[in-house]
Structure 1
Amino acid sequence: MEAPFEVPAVDISPYVHGGNPAERAAVAAAVDVACRTVGFVQVTGHGVPDATSAGLVGAIDEFFALPQDVKRRYVAPKGVNRGYTPPRSESLSLSLGVEAASRMNDFFEAFNTGAAVSDYPGVELDPAVYPEDLWPDEELVPGFRARVQAWEAEAGRVARTLTTVFADALGLEPGWFDRVTGHSLDVLRMNNYALPPGTVELDGDLTGMGEHTDYGIVTVLWADRVAGLQVLGPDGTWHDVQPAEDALLVNLGDAMARWTNERWTSTLHRVKPPIVDGTIERRRSAAFFHDGDVDAVVAALPGCVAPGEEPLYPPVTIGEHIAAKLAGSRAGRANTAAQREAARVLASAR
């Protein structure tokens, strides 16, 4: 009889608070098992202050409570991954090349911030790739920027702690990921699934967020303990996942799956509408995507390819890979470079 699907919990405090080598080795081994089998981890011992998380939640609530016409003032120009995203502006299934039943049908609304050219002084970067943020006016949401940036900094610290764990788990030299994250394409996406009546119709094809894999190295997720997130298990079926008390949900992105030649998995996940008594139950989340440098080359690590075998993926830069994914989710063009991921979606018990 197969064991029930479970997202492993790992206490990373030995990496946060300077544990001894044996404690750190135990953490790395546990993360390796989770990354090999599930691709998601419930991370505890992360050290994010409760006040910082509460500040983020308050900022999310206050911004998304604004009238729709006010929020739409912060929609970025086409192709800029910042600012406000209205409902039904995206179809994340297309980031995998999977044609959704109804294009641009993901009903969540979102607000994105991220790494900008100004965050990396002295590094020559394209402002189209590293755009400046579009912050709402201070009088509309007092303290929004300060609260969001405080959580963004903590999530970034957790992500970089995890890449230190990853290097140990993969037998790489300490600091290996530092060479590919010095000007990382980091993005924070705050999501809201509680939309006003009449914003969307609760029809049969409504999707909160379509099935997708994340794009980069690792995602650090704060989320309500509300049903909705589903993860595709090794058995090909979808499983409900909620964050444990005081835990952050962490999952790998495609870059890690490619670097490890699928020794570790970039797990498919989606959000199904949490509908209770005919209305969408309130659900909020904030995903911090630690994606890597735009010019970093993702090619299979030597220890992850068996002698005599060819890597599963050709080399690609982070920038090229993410551009193809975003063209799918935001511009409605199916990503033709994600055949392996798309096959998993099509084979799943939908």
Structure 2
Amino acid sequence: MPVTTLPPVPHYNAAPPTKADLDYADLATIDLSKMESAQCRAALASQVRDALLTHGFFYVVNHGYSQAQTDRIFDIADVPFSCVSDEEKRLYADIDQETGWYRAYKLRQYWHIDAGVRDHIEFINIDRDVHKQGHPEALRPFLPEVEEFARFNHTNVLLAVLRLIALSLELPEDALVKLHNCNDLVEAFVKFIKYHPRSAEDEEKTNNVWFKGHTDSGSVTILWSQPVAALQILGKDSKWRWVKHVENALIVNAGDAIDFLTGGYYMGTIHRVVQPPPDQQQYTRLGALYVAMTDGDVKLVPLYESPVLKRVGINPCCENSVALTMLEWRRRRANGYGRTELRPSKDKGVEEEIIDGVVVKHYN
């Protein structure tokens, strides 16, 4: 049987793990190798419920990708940034007004962070159907692998997580899977993102915050763990805690859509990105993610048929008659971030924007 030869890719040299003594969040670990029986899935669903009610984040291990495969994905993830000129990046920098998401690049210094400081973040979104958009030349040889990476995230990880969330709500296993068909209105996509070091002056002006505290607009975000410590989550005690790097693990969190669909039972997780500890501040931070949303025409109203939600009570964010669809919510969130004027909240260190009557908070 012939061996497939993969195209060569420059190696991305990631930072060594930090030795700083950080206050890490105590996150649950979900082992996907234990999905084989209904009894095991019920036990995992209980773990997922507890994780979503406490931190909203959890690790996923034994997902099926080897460490070598993960290392190669991170090498590929750096290609759109290190191997593409700024001039070519601008050719693929555009926002789809229909879906509200970036077609390919979001360039650096596009968002206002705080105190006149603009961001040092660049990312590229790649539709799970890679043929739906254009791509910079350097990335094209790797598109089959990116498409396979998207398929793996969707089929092996996302659908498993959605089944466990449904079971935790005492719904049929496929209740949430049926809402994630990836129709033409809103697609799940791969995101490669790179954070660049900033000046000491910019760090002081922004209190070391690179990406303000926020919730994700979609349903589930899958982040492939990488060694630069910068991601923090806001605990119920109002303290920010770091998310620890776990080799070849995934970090999964719920977004706004899950919050809406559960009537606030599972709240979207508030997280932010800050300056890394001193022993990692000279490195770039490279991320690989899979961002999932319900189908665009799904109305974001509570799953009233859930026995769990009936017992605990449902707190919808708005009347069902005026609730937005996934497409509408995604578009409003994406078009506003970093470009709309935020108003101070009554809560210290919090700013707000109003989207169709729903208060969206940004944490500084």
Q: Same fold (TM over 0.5)?
A: yes
Gap change, CA 1:112 and 1:308, over 3 Å in 2: closer
Gap change, CA 1:176 and 1:101, over 3 Å in 2: same
1:70 and 2:88 are equivalent in the alignment:
yes
Distance in 2, matches of 1:318 and 1:275, equals 37
SS at match of 2:102: coil
SS at match of 1:296: coil
SS at match of 1:284: strand
Give the counterpart letter for 1:75 in structure 2: A
Gap change, CA 1:225 and 1:21, over 3 Å in 2: same
Unmatched 5+ stretches in structure 2: 1-22, 343-352
1:281 and 2:289 are equivalent in the alignment:
no
Of the three residues 28, 32, 49, the one matched with 1:8 is: 28
Give the counterpart letter for 1:106 in structure 2: D
2:302 matched residue in structure 1? 300
Gap change, CA 1:65 and 1:275, over 3 Å in 2: farther
1:204 and 2:205 are equivalent in the alignment:
yes
SS at match of 1:113: strand
Q: How does 1:130-145 map to 2 (within 5 A)?
A: 132-137=132-137, 140-141=138-139, 143-145=141-143
2:225 and 2:245 in contact (8 A); partners too: yes
1:76 and 1:134 in contact (8 A); partners too: no
2:325 matched residue in structure 1? 317
Give the counterpart letter for 2:61 in structure 1: T
Tell me the TM-score normalised to structure 2 length: 0.77
**Identity percentage of aligned residues:** 24
Give the counterpart letter for 1:101 in structure 2: D
1:103 and 1:332 in contact (8 A); partners too: no
Distance in 2, matches of 1:244 and 1:278, equals 16
1:114 matched residue in structure 2? 127
Tell me the TM-score normalised to structure 1 length: 0.80
Of the three residues 39, 48, 73, the one matched with 1:22 is: 39
Gap change, CA 1:310 and 1:193, over 3 Å in 2: closer
Distance in 2, matches of 1:50 and 1:309, equals 42
Give the counterpart letter for 1:43 in structure 2: V
- Distance apart, 1:181 and its partner CA: 1.2
1:171 and 2:170 are equivalent in the alignment:
yes
Alignment size in residue pairs: 315
CA deviation map 1:192-236 (0-9, x unaligned): 1136x88x9555226422211111111111131211001111111
Gap change, CA 1:224 and 1:4, over 3 Å in 2: closer
Distance in 2, matches of 1:274 and 1:244, equals 16
More displaced stretch, 105-114 vs 77-86: 77-86
SS at match of 2:94: coil
1:222 and 1:286 in contact (8 A); partners too: yes
Give the counterpart letter for 2:86 in structure 1: Q
The structure whose residues are more often strand, as a share, is 2
- Distance apart, 1:309 and its partner CA: 6.3
1:31 matched residue in structure 2? 48
1:37 and 1:265 in contact (8 A); partners too: no
Gap change, CA 1:310 and 1:44, over 3 Å in 2: closer
* Runs of 4+ displaced beyond 6 Å: none
Distance in 2, matches of 1:215 and 1:281, equals 28
2:226 and 2:287 in contact (8 A); partners too: yes
1:96 matched residue in structure 2? none
